[in-house]
Amino acid sequence: MATSFSEIPIIDLSQADDESSKSSLLDSLRYALTKVGFLYVSGHGVPTKVVDGLVKALPTLFELDDEVKKSVALENSPHFLGYSGVGSENTGGKADRREQFEFGTELTATWHPGAPLYERLRGPNQWPKGHEELRSTVEAYIGELTRLGERFLDLVAQALSLQPGTFQPFLSDQHRLKLVHYPALPADGPAVSQQGVGPHKDSSGWWTFLLQASPPEVKRLQVLNKAGDWVDVPVVPGTFVVNIGQAFEVVTNGVCKATTHQVLSGPRERYSVPFFQGVRRNLTKAEAVGTLKAHFGALDISRESEEGHAIDSAFLKGKYNTWGESQLRTKVRSHRENGKKFYPEVFDQYVNDDA
């Protein structure tokens, strides 16, 4: 029987700076990678000023007038970047009780007719006019998390007995950041769904770096362990919650599992900031599975609970050959109005399949 976890380990990345402590760090990281799939990182080197600046901006951002939010609505963007309101995104076929702004590494749109449809995912952000300080705050944060993600990947490689730089060729040119607000549940509305975001594995990136941007007493994030029990992930000040995305599970041949998690709505509002380290859009399943197969084939594979296997996982099940198409399918299924508008040629196929 697989060993199951009951709490999330904390990994101090600053230990990598000292050879006397680096070996212990890599051992702890290996355990988190192969047995849990979720971890906190402290000593990460992201300046407090950058983090605090983003946290301070969140209430002001979500208090913007509806017209301002509408002007940068995700429905305006074939790249799925922008604002989406409460109930506009679905997870597991149910509406999520959250509103969010989604941004990415600032890039130009390069798609043209004849190119793979998933290349339309690449493109520029929508920024609320008259709030230039927001752009500088978000771009500074994306820059810092991009650098943290690259440093972290080198440690992950070493923890898994690989050379630094092994995982960088799988990365995309565009990473994504969500600024998320979970409204408080109304006191007199017991019939309102408690699904902040339903049970899922992260399909939007290679790794996810989450800033829980509310006080420690505001909880609600939970992780599913291998026994099928939900484990709370409380706020630990000064840390990021880091978890494996589905593409990394594929590349490691299932040795490092993408762990199922959810957010429940509660009596207090909650702010959350996940950064999704992007995966190269033209990565094929054969390339993902085969590149490091010999290495990971010799390692033990942890076994998930049955509920963990039931979560929507198109790329792992193999119907779509490239990561980009699998990602486009996920976006269309989650943001259906946007999918109808920009991707009518594949909308019915993506929404109705179960692969």
Q: What is the DSSP pairing of strand 90-91 with strand 221-224?
A: unpaired
The pLDDT of residue 51 is 98
Give the contacts of 324 (CB within 8 A, at least 6 positions apart): 116, 118, 119, 121, 281, 282, 283
What are the angstrom distances between the C-alpha of 261 and each of 170, 195, 265? 24, 12, 14
Neighbours of 72 (CB within 10 A): 20
Neighbours of 225 (CB within 10 A): 24
The pLDDT of residue 215 is 82
Q: What is the dihedral of CA 21, 27, 29, 30, to 10 degrees?
A: 160
Q: Tell me how far apart the alpha carbons of residues 332 and 351 are, in angstroms, rounded to a whole number.
A: 7
Output the DSSP codes for 166-184.
SSGGGB-S--EEEEEEEPP
Residue in the structure block whose two tokens are 């006019």: 129
Task: Give the residues across from 7 on adjacent strands.
Answer: none
Q: Tell me how far apart the alpha carbons of residues 327 and 308 are, in angstroms, rounded to a whole number.
A: 20
The pLDDT of residue 285 is 85
- Which of 176, 170, 120 minimizes the C-alpha distance to 150? 170
pLDDT mean by block of 10 residues, the chain; 355 residues: 77 96 96 92 97 96 95 95 82 74 97 96 95 94 98 97 96 96 73 66 87 85 90 93 90 88 83 95 91 85 54 62 90 89 95 78
The pLDDT of residue 310 is 46
Neighbours of 297 (CB within 10 A): 10
Q: What is the DSSP pairing of strand 38-42 with strand 10-12?
A: parallel
Q: Tell me how far apart the alpha carbons of residues 336 and 49 are, in angstroms, rounded to a whole number.
A: 37
The first and second tokens of residue 322, run together, are 């490239």
Helix axes 344-352, 323-334, angle to 10 degrees: 80
Q: Tell me how far apart the alpha carbons of residues 7 and 231 are, in angstroms, rounded to a whole number.
A: 7
> Residue 322, SS3?
strand
Q: Tell me how far apart the alpha carbons of residues 326 and 193 are, in angstroms, rounded to a whole number.
A: 28
Q: What is the dihedral of CA 279, 285, 286, 287, to 10 degrees?
A: 0
